[in-house]
Chains A and B, each alone.
Chain A
């Protein structure tokens, strides 16, 4: 893990420049990750990154951004999308001449939500990545002088889905699989086991399904899907297909 900071220093020497660390503000409401990432960056990437602030709330993130003028804000976006939108827009207004670059981390898989977040103007969007990939994305972001480029780090499938417009009101293949299994009476844990997922993504898939279908519960979603013949009775009563994962 020392390799990156050493490489960065070596690159700076080669170019005859004395690079200062990138000043980073971490805004994430998961304490373990926030504190852990800050410690990891301080320990292994100190020549490259300086964590100048940490917070678990959007309000404090805005206040800290005004106070410490970070180069980069790394911000987690979760289910509280409206709050995240508000925070992000305020952070981008902190300094009208040179606002901080914003890197969004998310666990969302729903293309519609990914597009909504991207419209807010983050410089970088990271999903399902490693720490090294996050830092690589940060280097690219910081190295973009105009800030006109958007750096995307996400699985190809998610990127394609976010680009092709699928998902405005149409269920993705995975969401349909979750809906079919829910219609068979499986709970989240059983659905997760069947699809080789954890329960968290299943909950998020269901949370994405409801607004697309204009419903507010699993039972309502199943009834509407059956009533509109999006699902057949055969699908909802068939034995679990062990090959679908």
Chain B
């Protein structure tokens, strides 16, 4: 009936997951929701709906496959560009710094989720 818990409400970061193929984004979204349930709100998008969903959701972190529109990288948010070749490599941009991780893991991305919450959670 709309009652609220007395527990403090955790800061929530909005995360847009748009990697291809669909199974990959479902798996990543599942683990973020499961392991950071009070910290992150996760929205899924396909590469085709990425721009529209970015406008709708105003995410703090975008995780997308390589080639996602460059204008999204200029919004002052964190982003991850995933390259699917022999291994899954990821270029991560956060706080003005950029790094590439070879064979990116779930744990790598959860660390970035935590940093996103630290940086943007208070705005949510």
Contact = CB atoms under 8 A, between A and B. Distances in A.
A193 interface: yes
B83 to A, nearest CB: 7
Interface in A24-81: 29-33, 35-37, 39-40, 43-44, 78-80
A105 B23 CA distance: 10
B66 to A, nearest CB: 5
Contacts of A198: 20, 47, 64-68
Interface string B70-114: 000000000000011111100000000000000111100100000
A36 B67 contact: no
A189 B86 CA distance: 19
B48 A196 contact: yes
Contacts of B104: 31-32
Contacts of B22: 128-130
B7 interface: no
Nearest to A1: B30
B69 interface: yes
Contacts of A197: 47, 67
A8 to B, nearest CB: 19
B21 interface: yes
Nearest to A203: B85
B28 interface: yes
A153 B87 CA distance: 24
Interface string A195-231: 0111111100000000000000000000000000000
Contact of A130 (B23, B88, B103, B106): B23
Contacts of B27: 32-33, 36-37, 40, 131
B67 A188 contact: yes
**Would you call the interface of chain A mostly helix, strand, loop, or mixed?**
helix
Contacts of B24: 30, 32-33, 36
Given A79-B86, A199-B66, A43 B28 contact: no
A107 B84 contact: yes
B67 A31 contact: no
A203 to B, nearest CB: 8
Interface residues of A, number: 35
A136 to B, nearest CB: 13
Nearest to A134: B23
Contact of A200 (B31, B83, B105, B109): B83
Given A29-B86, A31-B103, A35-B105, A199 B67 contact: yes
B86 A31 contact: no
Interface string A156-188: 000000000000000000000000000000001
Q: Which 6 A-B pairs have the closest CB atoms?
A: A199-B67, A36-B27, A198-B65, A192-B67, A30-B88, A198-B67
10 contacts: A32-B88, A36-B27, A36-B106, A40-B27, A43-B30, A107-B21, A131-B26, A131-B27, A193-B67, A193-B69
